Amino acid sequence: MNPSMAELFDTDGAIYMASRRDPGGCRVALFGVPYDGTTSFRPGTRFGPAAIREVSSGLETYCPQLDRDLEDLAFADLGALAIPFGDPEPVVEAVRQATARVLAQGLRPLMLGGEHSISSGAVAAVAQRHPELVLVQLDAHADLRSSWLGAHHSHACAMRRCLEVLPSQQLLQIAIRSGTREEFSELRQSGRLVAIERMAEALGPLRGRPIYLTVDLDWFDPAVMAGTGTPEPGGFHWPDFAALVNELRHHDLVAADVVELAPQLDPTGVSSVLAAKVTRSLLLLLGR
């Protein structure tokens, strides 16, 4: 027998501001996946989902940019997905199954990580429901390795694994700034690499298509996002993300994730607040 929704998730601890536990009557559901088993530099992203929840109450529920309020959105915080310890493959499969269950309830999923390796499980479930799904990636890194440090499902392979479960093969990788020579050769030849100045131009023709947005928080500059495992100088700031949000107002965002927050690496707590604000924007976009 399949476990019930209540059995899939651990609801101990903080809850994201303005959310409820019961998904009945909701349009959007967020859940956390506290996993960092393939971390290759600085660990700690398993603490990310809890940190986002804990600091969320420091923000307003109202978003001036979108002119919408979380208080007016019926959304659930399902808690933390119960995952096995150890290798990433069972975790990715658990994510796929949980995301499929969320979708089956008529909910749009927002997953909080955890490391980026978990994204392919969620993308697989969403793509099964939406075969024309377009994947949009915010990330410092290309994440196109076939394997890394012996792991097929490493966080450094996140987009390679996503492409394997994405029927449309449509992936936009926005303003990637780090990767191997081979990865950048592929990025340029494939046409998937989108400059920050061309975000709206690249997304414009995709209006009406279902979109999954994956946000690796190391896309932001370390000056504002110190709390991440593999920081990369030369990144972006809130106005850059806000420009993407403005474009996504015209799109069908059906699912998203926010990954790679390692809160203990930023004692100021600013990184967690930034991640919580990203989460607020995505919740409101998903609930449109």
Angle of helix 48-56 relative to helix 270-286, nearest 10 degrees, comes to: 80
Where the chain has pLDDT below 70, the residues are: 1-3, 40-41, 147-153, 155
Helices 238-248 & 270-286, crossing angle to 10 degrees? 10
Query: Which pair of structure tokens corresponds to residue 171?
Result: 């992936």
What is the per-residue pLDDT for 154?
75
Classify residue 85 by burial, with Cβ atoms within 10 Å: 0-12, 13-18, 19+: exposed
List the CATH code of the domain at 5-286: 3.40.800.10
The per-residue pLDDT for 64 is: 98
How many Cα neighbours within 13 Å face the side chain of 91? 27
pLDDT of residue 1: 42
Half-sphere exposure of 186 (CA within 13 A, CB side): 17
Is the pTM here over 0.85, yes or no?
yes
Where are the chain's structural domains?
Answer: 5-286
Residues 179 and 159: beta-carbon distance below 8 Å: no
* pLDDT score, position 75: 98
Burial class of 172 by CB neighbour count within 10 A (0 to 12, 13 to 18, 19+): buried
